[in-house]
A and B are shown apart, each in its own frame.
Chain A
Amino acid sequence: MSDDLMTAAAGDDPREGLLAVHSLRELADRLEALHVERARRLGWSWEQIATVLGVSRQAVHKKFGKRFR
């Protein structure tokens, strides 16, 4: 990674920091959907998935229940 990028992240430009947060959130959301879908296919219960994600069973079911039965 180039030096100016490191400077940008650690630096004081709010725009760079906010863009990074936005992309991190998006990346986390996409990874979550991929892994939940796969876990369900492999027979994981909503309870098991929720425990590992650190959220309630209801929360994970509400978010993915319809899509990844």
Chain B
Amino acid sequence: MFERFTKDARSSVVQAQDEARRLGADRIDSAHLLLGAVSDPASVAARALATLGVDHDGLVTTVRALPHRSLDADALAGVGIDLESVRAQVEATFGPGALDEPAETRGRKHLPFDKDAKKALQVALREAIRFSSNRIDTGHLLLALARLDGTPGQRALEAAGHGRDELERAVVAAWADTTAA
């Protein structure tokens, strides 16, 4: 799968794993792929989105606002559980931050990709074919993410206010820039 990825696309996938961990996720989803794709400001995806006024930090804020698996202190208080006192007890035994890591990731070196993220990687290949490119870069990945309606990556792009056509023009412009440079 990854043999046709350009260097920046490969490193964006590695970055996606760090993004997922930082956000306390238990798997890599399409939103983490999106954050990974723009984590290097020189990547095609980052340059394309920059022309639309979207940057990595702004997307992190957007992604954080999407629903995710979490410990909701208010909801737990509603059933009589004081999350802060549970946290204090757990940290006394297991150390600081012990309760912050999702159960799925504890003891694992690599997070798994979720279904949508796998799909996005496949669609990125189709995008590369559509543009007659034999390499898959972060531009193709970005267009793939925008195609998968209802997934966290697509919703984050939508929340940032950009539809597919606009993104495609921005990506094509970023490619043209690369060729010219």
Contacts and interface: CB of A to CB of B under 8 A. Distances in A.
Interface in B63-88: 69-72, 74-83, 86
Nearest to B74: A5
A55 B117 CA distance: 32
Contacts, number: 77
30 contacts: A1-B82, A5-B78, A6-B78, A8-B78, A9-B79, A9-B80, A20-B76, A20-B78, A22-B72, A23-B70, A23-B71, A24-B76, A26-B69, A27-B71, A27-B76, A27-B81, A27-B99, A30-B99, A30-B102, A30-B103, A30-B106, A31-B90, A31-B99, A33-B103, A33-B104, A34-B94, A38-B93, A38-B94, A64-B107, A68-B107
Interface string A18-61: 01101110110111111001100000000000000000000000
A47 to B, nearest CB: 20
Interface residues of A, number: 25
Task: Name the residue among A9, A30, A32 with the largest chain B CB count within 10 angstroms.
Answer: A30
Interface majority SS on B: helix, strand, loop or mixed? Answer: loop
Given A16-B75, A20-B79, A30-B103, 19 more contacts: A5-B77, A6-B80, A19-B74, A19-B78, A20-B72, A20-B75, A26-B69, A26-B102, A26-B103, A27-B76, A27-B83, A29-B104, A31-B90, A32-B103, A33-B107, A34-B98, A34-B106, A37-B107, A64-B107
Contacts of B69: 22, 26
A62 interface: no
Contacts of B79: 9, 20, 24
B158 interface: no
Nearest to B105: A33
Interface of B: 69-72, 74-83, 86, 90, 93-94, 98-99, 101-104, 106-108
A19 B103 CA distance: 18
Contact of B108 (A26, A31, A67): A67
Interface of A: 1-2, 5-6, 8-9, 16, 19-20, 22-24, 26-27, 29-34, 37-38, 64, 67-68
